[in-house]
Structure 1
Amino acid sequence: MNGTTLEALDAMRSALRGPVVGPQDPEYRRARTVHNAMIDRRPAAVVRCADAADVMAAIGFVRDAGLTLAVRGGGHSGAGLCLVDDGVTVDLSPMRWTHVDPGARKATVGGGTTLGDLDHATHAFGLATPSGILSSTGIGGLTLGGGHGYLTRKYGLTIDNLLAADVVLADGTSVRADSTTHPDLFWALRGGGGNFGVVTSFTFRLHPVDTVGVAITVWPVDRIHDVLRWYRDFLPQAPEDLNGFFAALTVPPGPPFPEEIHGQKMCGVVWCWTGDPELLETTLQPVEDPGRPAFHFMAPMPYTALQAMFDELLPPGLQWYWRGNFFDRITDAAIDVHAKYAENLPTALSTTHLYPVDAAAHRLGPDDTAWAYRDAVWSGVIAGIDPDPDNAGQLRQWCVDYWEELHPHSMGGTYVNFIGAGETPDRIRATYRDHYDRLAAIKRTYDPHNFFHANQNIQPAPAA
């Protein structure tokens, strides 16, 4: 660590309210640990910012010292973009707060807030906003990438419900971005990732969501052809109150699954129903069409419980490698690829998911936000997961092979948060389609020197 770096870290320790954790500190190992244990990077420091003022000051010190900055919200980045060797991580995790205005159906949250924090606060008022499927996920990274989950077909993407954001820019100033103030920045934040600044707070629109109908349906994996052909036709024409993501999985050893199918490879759908509880059973009667399920579970459940359902199955500290694709259809040829790799899941936790991004998510126009795939019907992810570091190479190879065979049947781009480690800049450009040049121009306005580059990076457009 050179003298300039040491001076910058010492200056931050004196000026900031939050702690600056360096390699010599007992907390360092924990501070540099993220959800994905495959990531092992050693930043010069992790700055745990207490508030927006800390973020503003930290950016100034890091910029002036010529160091690389990364930003951590919930620490779920599969590619580990919240850490950079020898750089500085601005850690927003102390900024976990939520203020709910139930009358206005709005919630404002700090940049380090998790989905579980937000859900807990809004559920008390019978409200929610669309987000992801693990409560430990950070709301910041999820939102900036777009955000899809159980409520997407009913209420759209997370970014479709973003009303405003407070952003610290590369020059250390803070601005508020919404539809009337810095509207170009607000457009870019809705899907453009962490390229434009550090978001210290988000304000979301809320919707009436309380108890939801939850169902899990699984079939033996050798029925995957029939199941996917049925699913691709059934869900897009189903009521918007019904969401269901497809999964290939190894049945975990625990409830609600009966012991006789524990450890078996299956394919299935996890359903969420926001309509009249009395209509769920009738709505899901067609699950018998592709063949009798091995297991079909239905129950009313608080939305917060559904959001946390898979948290214990996928705790921090696992090895992860993932890649994604957008699909406007599920072709027979794609189903053949899914069948090949689903029957050969490399580990008990490895999986593939297809998340619906249609219905309400299609109501916004293709140019209304930076999300460039309003014509996509599914957002797919292939995830190799296991606790054993010795299996990391196997996970990666299975994921890459699967992705390379499936990609020709996709739309070409992917959900930005599913871009894996080591993927090329061409993948980022493909993800933004014709929006890339507009994003690059906005990047030039707000971050002309690409200070925020530890992300799925958009290069600033050359000066005119």
Structure 2
Amino acid sequence: MRSIRSCLCLATLIAQVACDAVVDGKLSFYTSSWENWDENTARWSAYEAPTFSAVFKPETEAELSQGIEYLAKYNIPYLATKPGGHGNVPTLGNYQNVVQINLDNFRHAVMNSDHSITIGGGAKMVDLIPTLHRAGREMTVGSFPCVGVHGVMLGGGMGRLMGRYGLISDALLQAKVALWNGTIVEASEKVNPDLFWGLRGAGHNFGVVLESTYKTWPDEGGLHYNADMVFTDDSLDGVVNTYREIVQDGLDPSLFLILGYMYDADAKKPLLIMNVVYAHNEEKGRRVAGRFASSPKGTAEPITRISFKESNMNFSELGSGKAVPGVCDVNLKNTLYTASTPSLFETGAMKAVYESFGSFVRAHPGANRSILLFEAADGKAVDALPHDYSAYAHRGMMTTNAIIQATWDEDEDGIVAEAANAWGKGARDLLAKPEVSGYDKLHAYVNYANRDEPLAALYGYDEKRQRRLTALKQKYDPHGCFNAYRPLPLDMSGWELPTASGAPQRTRDEL
């Protein structure tokens, strides 16, 4: 529970900000009377979302440092969020009426003379990708323009080019981080290498990243073959098994596949969608897409493709989010679950999840923007690095990831939320069964996770790794200031709990 002292300090701050947006003559705080309040506090998901009593929007690195120091000094709880507002884990809902640290003024993306790129803590994919494209360079990036780069990277950073270049965090060269007390430190292989290790896979536990620099690669002309397809529901067996054959034959490093279940509100049933992206080789991409063409009549596992759109996209278009509509909409309610497999989930389970998806949305029509995605990429670039290269724990384990996303709007009595979580959890648990996933335990990518998974499923089951992560948490966030997003425990006993509390910042009266 927040101390009386912290509540009084927060109330004093709010009263002062109500009269003047500048605190102590230098710190830019804003309250709900600010004309830009709504756009600066909007969230991708309004379900189990944090709420804010004030926004701290620093203009400079020095102001950011001073502001965090101020908040720590007066024991005022804060949450570093934005630029995309896509953080979605329900533990964020424990953070009510806190101060938002908003990094929208740190949205720069600059190419360096050595072909590396440096980006600010507020940069979104829409800032990063065009800058790379103009320079004739590329790297692994997220699929959607509105998502913040650092939010993705700190969990590891999957993307369509990970088969070629590994995770976004694998390309990280250095980062500048503001710690819980406002101290700004560098992290790289040579400076604070322990923090550098932890940032890449569990980074949301340690501080506010205000700048980072990445390795990039030549874009080889910059064109990527893209195909979007839609199939009838009776094509499920044929599409899934074709997908499985491609995965089991060995994915090319330049290939990225997404199989999706989307709901057709008019037909009142799910549709099958497929997105194929092949980097720098139209002919090979066409061959992969051609394997999903409509099959002849009488085929045992027929495929009926009712829509097919192909194009050659340049790198700046690759992260446009066109394959999945609505991903940049704000203030809907969303909940995510995930599971992974080294190949593809068993066909019967994928059919069962498809059917349960249809049943869930038919019972709750307001959830018709829900979606399931099965993403697959070659793992050679990720797996080429040692298992202990970074805090990302899933090398050699995630060829295909399931993203189970329930999305709804109005829900005054909470019935849809309850049904959404029951469906999402049930689908996740089915896909995670050993006979379905091939794993005896759940392995979950933290950026797609919910709040009920064991922490070890997110950060690794190896005790040595867990001890290393807990030691980092004790060193860099000893008071649990960065506990909003599936936090690491400050004590080893916390790894044995079935779920992480995600409790707000602890009382810091001793500071």
Question: TM-score normalized by structure 2?
Answer: 0.81
Instruction: Give the aligned partner of residue 349 of structure 1.
Output: 369
Q: 2:392 aligns with which of 342, 348, 371?
A: 371
Aligned residues: 451
Is the 8 Å Cα contact of residues 146 and 371 (structure 1) preserved in structure 2? yes
Alignment pair present for 1:71 and 2:80: yes
Pairing partner for 1:396 from 421, 430, 441: 421
TM-superposed deviation, 1:398 = 2.6
The question of 1:407 aligning with 2:416 is answered no
Contact 1:21/1:27, CA 8 A, preserved across alignment: no
Deviations 1:191-229 (A, max 9, x none): 003101110011111223322110112322332233222
Tell which deviates more after alignment, 86-95 or 185-194. 86-95
Offset at 1:392?
4.2
Pick from 119, 126, 130 the counterpart of residue 129 of structure 2. 119
CA offsets 1:409-446 (integer angstroms, 9 cap, x no match) = 444121111122xx24x522321122322111111121
Mapping 1:99-114, distance limit 5 Å:
99-101=110-112, 103-114=113-124
Cα deviation, residue 96, structure 1: 0.8
Match of 1:428 among 424, 449, 455: 455
1:4 — aligned with what? 9
Structure 2, unmatched stretches of 5+, are 1-5, 296-300, 362-366, 494-511
Which structure has the larger Rg over C-alpha atoms?
2
Alpha carbons of 1:120 and 1:164: their partners in 2 closer, same or farther (altered >3 Å)?
same
Distance in 2 between residues matched to 1:111 and 1:262, nearest whole Å: 43
Choose the corresponding residue for 1:321, options 318, 335, 345: 335
Q: Share of identical aligned residues, percent?
A: 22
For 1:6 and 1:263, the matched residues in 2 are separated by: 50
- Three-state SS of the structure 2 residue aligned to 1:287 is coil
Q: 1:268 aligns with which of 250, 267, 273?
A: 273
1:31–1:416 distance in 2 versus 1, CA, 3 Å: same
Give ranges in structure 1 of 5+ residues lacking alignment: 253-260
Partner of 1:256: none
1:273 positional shift:
1.1
- Counterpart CA distance in 1 for 2:482 and 2:375 is 29
1:177–1:16: structure 2 CA closer, same or farther, 3 Å change rule?
farther
Whether the 8 Å contact between 1:194 and 1:452 is mirrored in structure 2 is yes
Please report how far the alpha carbon of residue 143 of structure 1 lies from its aligned counterpart in structure 2 after TM superposition. 0.6
Q: Which amino acid aligns with 1:248?
A: Y
Give the drift of 1:115: 0.5
Instruction: Quote the residue 2:44 is aligned against.
Output: 35
Structure 2: how far apart are the matches of 1:223 and 1:292?
6
User: 1:361 is matched with which residue?
Assistant: 382
* Secondary structure, aligned partner of 1:192: helix
Residue pair 2:126, 2:146 contacting (<8 A) in 1 also: yes
Range with bigger deviation, 158-167 or 4-13: 4-13
- Counterpart of 1:277? 282
* Secondary structure of residue in 2 paired with 1:273: strand
Residues 216 and 16 (structure 1 numbering): CA distance in 2 closer, same or farther, change over 3 Å? farther
Q: Give the alignment's Cα RMSD to 1 decimal.
A: 2.7
Task: Please say if residues 247 and 353 of structure 1, whose CA atoms lie closer than 8 Å, have aligned partners that are also in contact.
Answer: yes
Q: Residue 239 in 1 paired to residue 252 in 2?
A: yes
- Return the alpha-carbon distance in structure 1 between the equivalents of residues 123 and 491 of structure 2: 32
- Aligned 8 A contact 1:17 1:49 in 2: no
Q: State the Cα distance separating 1:338 from its structure 2 match.
A: 2.7
SS of match in other structure, 1:157: coil
Match of residue 312 from structure 2: 300
- Deviations along 1:141-179, one digit per CA (max 9) or x if unpaired, are 111011112112222111111111101112321111111
1:335 maps to which of 350, 353, 362: 350
CA distance in 2, matches of 1:18, 1:136: 27
CA distance in 2, matches of 1:21, 1:306: 36
Conserved 8 A contact 2:27-2:67: no
